[in-house]
Chains A and B, each alone.
Chain A
Amino acid sequence: MDTILFLAQTEEDGTLGKPALEALGAAVELTQALSGTLVAALYGAKAQPAADAIANCGASRFLAVAGEDFASARYATDAAACEALLRAAQATIVITAATSRSSRVMAGVTHRVGGCVDTHVSAIAADSASVTLTRWFYRQRIEASLTRTQRPWVLLLDPGAHAAWQGQGASGPVAPELIAVPVTESMRRTAVRGTITPPVDQQTIRPDAKLLFVAGAGWTKKQKDGQTHVPEAETLIVDFLHKSKASLGSSKSLVELTGENQSALRFMSHLNQVGQTGATPRHPKGLSTCCHGEEPHTVGWRFIGERRAINLDPNCGWARGKADVLYVADAFEVMSKVNALLGS
């Protein structure tokens, strides 16, 4: 019988983030499909609040590694904690969320326990005999399902790929088994000093936004009067992001214009880039403007639900067949009126 381990890091306040609850949802579902045993394991500065919150998830055991040494996302201590939890759980399948923290360590942990790992998992299916996962290859251009016989099998589930565990009935306190993990000086060679966060008015990437707004290089090109209007484009885009609370994505070409100090949008960075060499975010809706069509761009909104585009070219390959609606119009005109409507 399979033992499924739900593994998660806790947040600063000891609770679980949404991606972790999604991974728990997948772990509960897989346990039921395999008629297996569920074990929940947590690591971080504090584990008790998270353990209490998922007390009724059906886990037969709760394990935890807790303490200040495990507060920061540091490879050496995170890997040691996860390794100890995997060994204690004796799991055959491990499900964890593909956060930046777990993605940094889980392959290494898998190596230590002699298992195998698959990341960016978008779906997990099981019958009584086997488990099959689905993930993308070649940067979201080819989708494949695969199964493995080697165990333990560690699966990192992409955020947004599964419904979050909601829990049924009242939660109650639970006492997790605390696993001791010795922290040596060599594991403290790296010190995490904190994070750099863009100023609020420059914060343009919002993973939880309902809308992804994609700006293409067309914003910086000559317009119908034969001139570029980059400052005006900046104002329109920033105004729209402020009013709509959308997340900002960009094509590679526009980001690289910024890096080369050409006339470009000052707030754009590589972090905004979507597509072949950028992010593939998940949002319910997407609006692209001034993008020209190439396959690497369309890859960037593979996981966008409803899609609309504004472009002067009615045959734009970026939009045709990829968007639900293509408005053949001047994005400068349309977005200024959109901003006026949103402001009224």
Chain B
Amino acid sequence: MTNPYHVVVCASVVPDPLQTLEPITGPSGPALKNEMMLPAILDPWASHALYEGANLVKHIAGSKLWLVSMAPKAKLQQVMMTVAQKVPLQLVAVDGPSSGFADAHQTAHALAAAIRAIAGIDLSRLLLFGGWESASRSAGVTLQLIGEELGIVDQFQGVDAITPQEDGSFEVLERVEGARHQVSLCAGPPAVLGWATGNLGEPRNDPQVGMANMRTIMPALQRATVASISADGMRYSNVATPKQQRQTRIVKELPAEDIAREIVQWITQE
């Protein structure tokens, strides 16, 4: 049977997608207006990674799951109230910025240090999970950088499935161009998997799981290490939301035949 995995899921905290975002210039560079007041969620693609990781741990005896997250501690606590009810996890909190404008290299360095410091982790059994891109920086580089810091050279991005094999290897499906999936067979951990949506739905809230998790989450938040991220040679300019507003022509009470004719003419013209 497959050997147990030590699954670490890296997930940031991002503003709820339904919120309107307005950039401002803060003391340390660009930021979001009322950033601390905006309702936040666990990053969507990283959430999928968490659900997939929890599913893997559930089915392979002896496996463990940690959620490593860097965000302002108060914001992280608020988000964990919901996340804690989804799947059993052990939180490793890093108190630092979750802004999309924060430098990915320093963020990755802080997260790698937090992973190395996890008590009882076996880095040779490590499956490092996360979203293939965040909904904040949207760069898709942090996991790769952490992987390199930890010396992991089997990395996969845009993952939609992992299938453990009897001999300890696992098959991975990664999204590539043209709506295709690349199929790879990896000899085993350690590996980095940046998840796309995977195949699992969002688990229902389970208050019992929530209560069990909160016993360890609150102490983890109190123990959170502080990470300071500097601009380090990076300078922003022209941070803005797109102002493009189109003059929409509203076509009412036109027969379907005429609309169809207009659409066909439009899509067939060069």
Q: Tell me how many residues of A have a C-beta within 8 Å of chain B.
A: 98
Distance of A338 Cα from B258 Cα, bound (Å): 10
Interface pair B153/A142, CB less than 8 Å apart: no
Interface pair A137/B197, CB less than 8 Å apart: no
Which residues 152-198 in B have Cβ within 8 Å of A in the complex?
Answer: 153-158, 160, 171, 173-188, 196-197
Q: A144-B30, A270-B196, A310-B259 are in contact. Are A139 and B250 (CB under 8 A)?
A: no
A175 proximal to B (CB < 8 A): no
A84 proximal to B (CB < 8 A): no
A265 proximal to B (CB < 8 A): no
Residue of A nearest to B192 (CB): A75
Which residues 238-261 in B have Cβ within 8 Å of A in the complex?
Answer: 238-242, 245-254, 256-257, 259-261
Distance of A206 Cα from B249 Cα, bound (Å): 28
Which of B135, B155, B173, B248 touches A196 (beta carbons < 8 Å)?
A: B173
Interface pair A195/B260, CB less than 8 Å apart: no
> At the interface with chain A, which of B52-60, B79-87, B205-213, B227-235?
B227-235
Distance in angstroms from A152 CB to nearest chain B CB is 13
Interface pair A142/B260, CB less than 8 Å apart: no
Which of A74, A144, A196, A259 touches B239 (beta carbons < 8 Å)?
A: A144
Q: A186-B153, A270-B197, A296-B18 are in contact. Are A276 and B139 (CB under 8 A)?
A: no
Distance of A116 Cα from B104 Cα, bound (Å): 9
Which residues 134-158 in B have Cβ within 8 Å of A in the complex?
Answer: 135-142, 144-145, 147-149, 153-158
Which of B14, B236, B250, B260 touches A144 (beta carbons < 8 Å)?
A: B236
Q: A148-B234, A259-B201 are in contact. Are A203 and B249 (CB under 8 A)?
A: no
Distance in angstroms from B76 CB to nearest chain A CB is 19
Q: Tell me how many residues of B have a C-beta within 8 Å of chain A.
A: 84
Q: Which residues of A contact B188 (CB under 8 A)?
A: 189
Distance in angstroms from A214 CB to nearest chain B CB is 14
Which residues 141-167 in A have Cβ within 8 Å of B in the complex?
Answer: 141-150
Distance in angstroms from B208 CB to nearest chain A CB is 24
Q: A196-B180, A294-B18 are in contact. Are A326 and B250 (CB under 8 A)?
A: yes
Which residues 287-344 in A have Cβ within 8 Å of B in the complex?
Answer: 287, 294-296, 302, 306-308, 310, 314, 319-330, 333-335, 337-338, 340-342
Distance of A190 Cα from B187 Cα, bound (Å): 6
Interface pair A150/B233, CB less than 8 Å apart: yes
Residue of A nearest to B197 (CB): A270
B residues touching A (Cβ–Cβ < 8 Å)? 14-15, 17-18, 20-21, 23, 30, 44-45, 100-101, 104-105, 135-142, 144-145, 147-149, 153-158, 160, 171, 173-188, 196-197, 201, 232-242, 245-254, 256-257, 259-261, 263-264, 266-267
Q: Please list 7 pairs of residues, one from A and one from B, whose beta carbons are closer than 8 Å in the complex, sorted by A's number.
A: A100-B177, A138-B135, A139-B17, A139-B138, A144-B238, A196-B183, A205-B179
